[in-house]
Structure 1
């Protein structure tokens, strides 16, 4: 029995809705991204060594300590608990987006190990985190070769083996159309943010990506890499072609393949 189902795919592919549906139908616990308290991810957290904490005042350190967990040889701080000047000072230590890769890799693998160690018999459905988050960091932010991404993701898969995990991948051949539709709903602020992230990271800069078309190009290449990596991982998977074209057909198909 699969105790962990991970729904993956590009932005605007329907991951969150699909993951929630699976969890409801199979009586599993749904874990969405962006909740701030993910059992296997540090979505909005900072990592500081004890030496780095010395850059803060005594009063600031006392406040930080209230929202800190000691782990990975340092201090994991929940950024969502802060605002103003102190938040801005902590932001430069954010795990995603700011931490050097070797530090980030070690911290994130420790988080996955922590999740696996707490294996209490629960059954979970995750919205992404196995492919999307590692690819955003290794590919988009750092511009690493696919082999680096694959190696890191394989390490995570080894850690979560006791859960008999399975990936449900929502493959999308209409990336341009899907993002256009979603951007009309999510607004310019969201679109400008994702364009900036994908075009101004190491991958985007090294490939000269610009604007909306550059963003789409980055997503299409990410999907190609993800599917290739997924096909070679030691993990069960279901790849659904263009599920967004007919969700009424897709949902029963997913359940049939998972049962």
Structure 2
């Protein structure tokens, strides 16, 4: 594997950052190397400081993020473990500064300062670019449904950048992210760390994953093939009777799918015989057998920060 203790993944919202960060972490571990994936939304994230940005403004935000990176490097440099972070170099830091209409030269100065700080970890960057930003945003909004589109549009509408540049609604959001991507692409072109830029990764995820493994000099380890008949035993509707929460597990050509857990549809990745990771997040699902060996319930695990963590749902019927 390439000499690094820090793998960064970034790009536009919905470009596949979390999915690929998780993929990298699993591949690193399958190659016998310790890895720690810091999911962008996990509680007590070592870098992100949304509360500082919202309450104290850009100047304090920059100071806090800079200090967070310094602390992170000091803690991780002596560890024999690879850290994987998505959204930390740009989306959850630079994008917030851009939204606040911080002058470009200040954002650039901040970004290069961070690159200097993390240099001790021999960082590498995987950067996703969308050649048609409008199409990319429409695509992800359709996938994540209207609630997510309304949320993201409102976030941009209420930003200082949108107010100063008279940007509104979906069209304004597109313009914002076009300009934001121009900024981050410029920053990437001037970084000195090894970097891999992939255009439109969603056009061919298999090829994208292969390019990433080659870039990281990481032999690709495939999961053992599992029969459709075996996976079918997990499908069905599962319900928590106390809250009436219901989750559906389906099956298609690509494997098991969980419906309406975090997103409308998320793939399940095998962990053990009856346990699965939810793709693109830190939720795990453990299916449990009854005395006769039939799957009769599921338990939600993974990171304790999820509101459904620890919840047990009983299988009520097959799909």
- Name the TM tier (shorter chain): 0.7 to 0.9
> What is the deviation of 1:109?
1.1
Q: 1:139 aligns with which of 94, 98, 108?
A: 98
Please state if 1:169 is matched with 2:141: no
> What is the deviation of 1:30?
1.5
> What is the deviation of 1:134?
2.2
Instruction: Give the TM-score normalised by the residue count of structure 2.
Output: 0.62
Aligned counterparts, 1:64-79, within 5 A: none
Structure 1, residues 51-71: CA drift from partner, whole Å, max 9, x if none?
Answer: xxxxxxxxxxxxxxxxxxxxx
Aligned counterparts, 1:200-211, within 5 A: 200-211=158-169
Aligned to 1:5: 7
Q: Distance in 2 between matches of 1:127 and 1:104?
A: 19
Q: Distance in 1 between matches of 2:42 and 2:165?
A: 33
Q: Which has the higher contact order (CA 8 A, sep 6+)?
A: 1
Retained in 1: the 8 A contact 2:48–2:92?
Answer: no
> What is the deviation of 1:137?
1.9
> What is the deviation of 1:174?
2.8
> What is the deviation of 1:219?
0.7
> What is the deviation of 1:183?
1.6
Structure 1, residues 147-198: CA drift from partner, whole Å, max 9, x if none?
Answer: 2111111111111111100110011113222222222232322211211221
Number of residue equivalences: 208
Q: Distance in 1 between matches of 2:96 and 2:187?
A: 15
Aligned to 1:68: none
Q: Distance in 1 between matches of 2:171 and 2:65?
A: 31
SS for the counterpart of 1:167 is: strand
> What is the deviation of 1:3?
0.8
SS for the counterpart of 1:18 is: helix
SS for the counterpart of 1:160 is: helix
Aligned to 1:226: 184
Structure 1 alignment gaps of length 5 or more: 44-93
Which structure dedicates a bigger proportion of its chain to strand? Answer: 2
> What is the deviation of 1:126?
0.7
Structure 2 alignment gaps of length 5 or more: 30-34, 218-319
Q: Distance in 1 between matches of 2:8 and 2:66?
A: 17
Q: Distance in 1 between matches of 2:178 and 2:92?
A: 16
> What is the deviation of 1:202?
1.4
SS for the counterpart of 2:81 is: coil
Please state if 1:32 is matched with 2:39: yes
Which structure dedicates a bigger proportion of its chain to helix? Answer: 1
SS for the counterpart of 1:133 is: coil
Retained in 1: the 8 A contact 2:73–2:118?
Answer: yes
Aligned to 1:116: 73
Retained in 1: the 8 A contact 2:49–2:61?
Answer: no
Instruction: Give the TM-score normalised by the residue count of structure 1.
Output: 0.76
Aligned to 1:246: 204
Structure 1, residues 79-129: CA drift from partner, whole Å, max 9, x if none?
Answer: xxxxxxxxxxxxxxx312221222221122111111111122321111111
> What is the deviation of 1:26?
1.7
The ranges of structure 1 where at least 4 consecutive aligned residues each deviate by more than 4 angstroms after the TM superposition are: none
> What is the deviation of 1:40?
2.5
Retained in 2: the 8 A contact 1:42–1:95?
Answer: yes
